[in-house]
Chain A
Amino acid sequence: MKSEIRHQPSRRTLLRLSLGLLAFRLCTPAWAQPGAAPLRVITLFQGATDSAVALGVTPCGIVDSWSEKPTYRYLRTALEHVPHVGLETQPSLEDIVLLKPDVIIASRFRHQRIAPLLKQIAPVVMLDEVFEFKETLLQMGVALHRQQMAVALLEQWQRRVAQLRAQLQRTFAGHWPPTVAVLEIREDHVRSHLPASFAGSVLNELGFSWNVASQAASGASLKITSKESLPVVNADIFFVFMRADSQAVQQNYDSLLRHPLWQQMRAPQRQQVWQVDGVPWSMSGGIMGANLMLDDIARLAAADSIS
C-alpha cells in the first residue's frame, strides 16, 4: 500500500510532463510558421469579426450583425459561407462547441457571464469593450499569431489620420478645430453619440472638438426624447445617420428638419449636415469600419473651404 501511495504522485507528474511536452510540440509549429495551420477562430462581437477580416483571417464562426442582417455588406464578400452562431447578445454555446474552435474572441461587456463556459470550450480572448477597435486589433493580432500585421495596420491608420487631420486643418483654416455632433435618428428619439463612443473616439483622434454639454456628459450616448432638448447637440458639423431604413425613422428626421430649433443650430445654418452610413459609424466597432468612417470624413475635407 505504502509503496503505491509513494508511486502515484510520480506517475502523475510523469503524465503531466508528457502531456505538457505533447502540447508544446503541437503548438510549436504554429508559432514558428504563422499561417501554416490556420487557427479556427470564432468571433463573438462585430468589432472582432471586422478585425479578423482585416487581419486576413476568415473566422470559422461569427455572430449576426445588428443591421443589414445577417452580415454587414462591407464584410459579406469576405465572410461568405461562414456559419453563424447566434446573436452577439446570446451566442449558441452548442453551435460553438460543434465548430471545434482553437480560440474564441469575446468581450467582457457582453459575455462576462458565459466566460467560464466559453473557457471550457477553447482558450478565450476577452476584450473589455466591444468598440475599442485598436485594443481589439492588437489583442487579436497576438492571439491569431498576426502581431506584425496588426501593428502594420495600426501604423497605416495613424498615417491616414495624420494626413486627414492636416487636410481638415487646411479646409477649416481659421476655424480649427470645429465642434462636431454625431446624431443617430431613431423612430421616436435622437441619439447623440458622445466622445466616449466608437465614432467619438475616431473624431477625437482627428482633432475635432465637442460642445460643452457633450464634454460634460458621461457614457457613450445621450438619448434626446424631446426636440426641445436639441440645443445640447449644437455644433459646427453634424454627422447624421438613420437607425434603420424605415419610414418612421425618415418621418422623424423630416419633422426634425422642419423644427425651428433645428434650423437655428449652427450646422444646419452653415449647411454642414453630413449624412453618413450608420454601419461603420456606430455598429462596426472594428478597424475596417473606422477606415470607412475616414472615407466619409474625407468627403467633408475635400469640400470647398468653409467660410
Chain B
Amino acid sequence: MSNGLKLGCAALALLLCSLLSLAVGATWIPLSQVAAAFVHPDASSISHVLVTSTRLSRTLMAIAVGASLAVAGALMQALTRNPLASPGLFGINAGASFFIILFSSVFSLSSADAWLWCAFIGAAVAGCLVWLIGNMGQGSLNPLRIVLAGAAIAALFSAFSQALLVVNQDGLDTVLFWLAGSLSERSLSVAAPLLVCSLFALLGTLLLAGQLNVLNAGEEIATGLGQRTGLIRIAMSVLIVCLAGSAVALAGSIGFVGLLVPHMVRKGLSIDHRWLLPGCALTGAVLLLLADTLARVVMLPQEVPVGVMTALFGAPFFIILARRGGRHG
C-alpha cells in the first residue's frame, strides 16, 4: 500500500471516529439525528442541542489534542534523538499542573476559563526554562542536556505542586480530575484561541518536516548541507511548547499519546518526517477520539478520565512494541 493511500485510510478512520464520538454518549443519538443537527438544527430538540453543544466541542477538542500531542511527541523525539522522549519530558505537564494548583489555591482562581490560560502559561514557562537550561554553557544545544534539564524541571514543579496540595487539601479534589485528563464540559468559545493556536502550530510543523529529515541525518551533515541547525531547533521547541501547551491546557495531562503514536506511525507508515508528521496528527486524533468515546460509556453514568483510558491501552501496546524491538528513527 502506498503511503498516500495509508494516509487516506487514516483520514477516513478519523471521519468515522468523529461520527461515532458525536453519536455515542449517555444516550445514543442515531446518525440520522446527528446529520440533521448540522443540516437543519432544531433548538427544541434535545438531541440536536447535545450534538451541537457538548459533543461537537468534545469531538473537536479530542481531535486537536490528540493530533497536537502526537506531533509534539514526534518533534520531541527528533529534537532529543531519544526514542522515549514525549512532550512531558519538556516539563510541560508538570509546569501546567503547578500553575493551575498555584493559582487555584493561592489566588483562589477557580473559573475554568482562567485555568486554561494558567495551564498554557505554566507549560510555556516550563518549556522556556528547560530550553534555557539546556542551552546554557557550551554554545550549541545539546540533546542530552535538554533531557536532563527537562527531567529536573519536571521534578521541581511536581515537588512544588505536591507541597501546595499538602497545605491546601480542598484544592486536591478539583484538581485531581483535571490532572488525570478530561475532555468533558469545556466550552468551545473558551477553547477557541488555543484550538487555533494548535492548528497553526500543526501547519508550521508540516512546513518544517523536510528540515527535520536533514537534521536527523546528524549535526555535522546538516551543517554541511547548509542548514542553520540552531534556528531549526528553536523553531521546533517553540512548536512543541505551542502544541503540547495547548493540549495540556485543553485536556489536562494525557499520557502515552505523545510517546506511542510516533512509534506506531514510524512502523506503519514511514520514517520520513514529511509522511510521519501528518500520519502522527491523524493517528493521534483517531486514538484520542476512540479513548474518549470509550471513557464516556465504560462506567455509565460516571466517566473515566480519558488519561486513564489512554494509559490503559497505551501501556500494553508499548510493551509489545518494545518486545518486537522496533527501530527508532
Contact = CB atoms under 8 A, between A and B. Distances in A.
B118 to A, nearest CB: 13
A247 B184 contact: no
Interface stretch (A32-40, A145-153, A170-178, A223-231): A223-231
B169 interface: yes
Interface string A176-205: 000000000011110000000000000000
B27 A222 contact: no
A4 B178 CA distance: 71
A225 B108 CA distance: 22
Contacts of A227: 54, 185
Interface string B153-186: 0000000000000000110011001100010110
**9 A-B pairs with least C-beta separation:** A248-B110, A229-B301, A228-B26, A232-B301, A229-B26, A225-B303, A248-B111, A226-B184, A228-B25
Interface in B253-304: 296, 300-303
Interface of B: 25-27, 46, 49-50, 54, 108, 110-112, 169-170, 173-174, 177-178, 182, 184-185, 296, 300-303
B174 A186 contact: yes
B303 A226 contact: yes
A229 B300 contact: yes
A186 B46 CA distance: 24
Given A188-B174, A189-B177, 17 more contacts: A87-B169, A188-B112, A224-B301, A224-B302, A225-B177, A225-B182, A225-B302, A226-B25, A226-B26, A226-B185, A227-B54, A228-B50, A229-B26, A229-B300, A231-B27, A248-B111, A249-B110
A116 interface: no
Interface string A100-118: 0000000000000000000
A247 B115 CA distance: 13
Contact of A222 (B25, B170, B301): B301
B185 A188 contact: yes
B26 A231 contact: yes
Interface of A: 66, 87, 89, 186-189, 213, 222-229, 231-232, 244, 246-249, 251, 260-261, 264
A264 B302 contact: no
A213 B185 contact: no
B133 to A, nearest CB: 34
Contacts of A264: 46
B110 A226 contact: no
B56 to A, nearest CB: 13
Contact of A247 (B26, B49, B111, B182): B111
Contacts of A228: 25-27, 50, 54
A264 B47 CA distance: 13
B50 A187 contact: no
B301 A251 contact: no
Contacts, number: 66
Contacts of A231: 26-27
B177 A260 contact: no
A88 B211 CA distance: 58
A244 B174 CA distance: 11
B319 to A, nearest CB: 30
B166 to A, nearest CB: 9
A113 B26 CA distance: 39
A247 B27 contact: no
A258 B238 CA distance: 40
Nearest to B299: A223
Contacts of B300: 229
B108 A246 contact: yes
A224 B177 CA distance: 12
A187 B54 CA distance: 17
B296 A226 contact: yes
Contacts of A223: 302-303
24 contacts: A87-B169, A89-B169, A187-B112, A188-B178, A188-B185, A189-B185, A213-B301, A224-B301, A225-B182, A225-B184, A225-B303, A226-B26, A226-B54, A226-B184, A228-B26, A228-B27, A229-B301, A229-B302, A232-B26, A248-B110, A248-B112, A249-B110, A260-B46, A264-B46
A89 B303 CA distance: 26
Nearest to A229: B301
A301 to B, nearest CB: 30
A224 B169 CA distance: 21
A229 to B, nearest CB: 4
Contacts of B170: 66, 244
Contacts of A260: 46, 49
Contact of B302 (A87, A222, A247): A222
Contact of A225 (B27, B111, B169, B185): B185
Contacts of B302: 222-225, 229
A247 B296 CA distance: 27
Nearest to A88: B169
A189 B186 CA distance: 11
A98 B173 CA distance: 32
Nearest to B44: A260
Contacts of A246: 108, 110
A135 B216 CA distance: 69
A261 to B, nearest CB: 6
A223 to B, nearest CB: 5
B324 to A, nearest CB: 37
Contacts of A188: 112, 174, 177-178, 185
A188 B112 CA distance: 8
A223 B174 CA distance: 12
A226 B296 CA distance: 8
B46 to A, nearest CB: 5
B59 to A, nearest CB: 13
